Amino acid sequence: MNKLKKGLFIAAGSLCVILAFIGIFVPLMPTTAFLLLAAYFFTRSSKTALHWLEYNRLFGSYIRNYRAGLGIPLREKIFTLSILWVTIGATVIFAVDNLWVRLLLIAIATGVTVHVVSIKTYHPGASPVQLAKELE
């Protein structure tokens, strides 16, 4: 990879990490999507940056588990959806007067909820027998 392309990929990955961090606090910004996009850029440009992303204390395990197909822990799903609905609810009730904007925000929150619920739930330390019992 030439130096210009590598630099652009590192810059794009870094921007995605910044946007993901902002997305932690702003409910309509897709944190996971930006982190995965950052992983994509870093995979193709910088092993050091990818290692930093995957072993970052804030969201490293989250990215590793998601990329490995293990899913998201139930606690994180509940936290994510709680924050989403509290902030969307407050916005719809207190900050937006337009009915169409309210409906759009509720539709977006519903779509995000469906997506988060559809992601496999990660059970750290659970044995296959325990997981089978949960499915019964």
Helix (H, G, I), strand (E, B) or coil at 115: helix
Q: Is the pLDDT of residue 117 over 70?
A: yes
Q: Is the pLDDT of residue 8 over 80?
A: yes
Q: What is the largest CA-CA distance in the chain?
A: 54
For the ranges 14-23, 27-36, 107-116, the lowest mean pLDDT is seen at 27-36
Looking at the fold, whether 4 and 42 belong to one and the same domain comes out as yes
Q: What is the mean pLDDT of residues 111-124?
A: 86
Looking at the fold, whether 2 and 64 belong to one and the same domain comes out as yes
12 phi, psi to nearest 5 deg: -65, -40
Domain endpoint, select from 53, 68, 83? 68
For the ranges 4-8, 61-65, 82-86, the lowest mean pLDDT is seen at 61-65
Domain endpoint, select from 68, 97, 125? 68
Q: Are 37 and 29 in contact (CB under 8 A)?
A: no
pLDDT tens digit string along 14-27?
999 999 888 878 76
Q: Is the pLDDT of residue 104 over 90?
A: yes
- With a pLDDT cut of 90, the percent of the chain lying above it is 35
Rounded to whole angstroms, the Cα distance separating 60 from 17 reads: 12
- Residue-averaged pLDDT of the chain: 84
Give the per-residue pLDDT at 28. 66
Residue 53 burial (CB < 10 Å; 0-12/13-18/19+)? Answer: buried
Domain endpoint, select from 35, 68, 101? 68
- Domains in the chain: how many in total? 2
- Letter for the amino acid at 52? W
Find all residues with CB under 8 Å of 7, minimum gap 6, and list them. 45
Instruction: Count CB neighbours of 130 within 10 A.
Output: 10
Q: What is the mean pLDDT of residues 81-100?
A: 89
Give the per-residue pLDDT at 129. 52
Rg of the chain in Å (alpha carbons): 18
pTM surpassing 0.75?
no
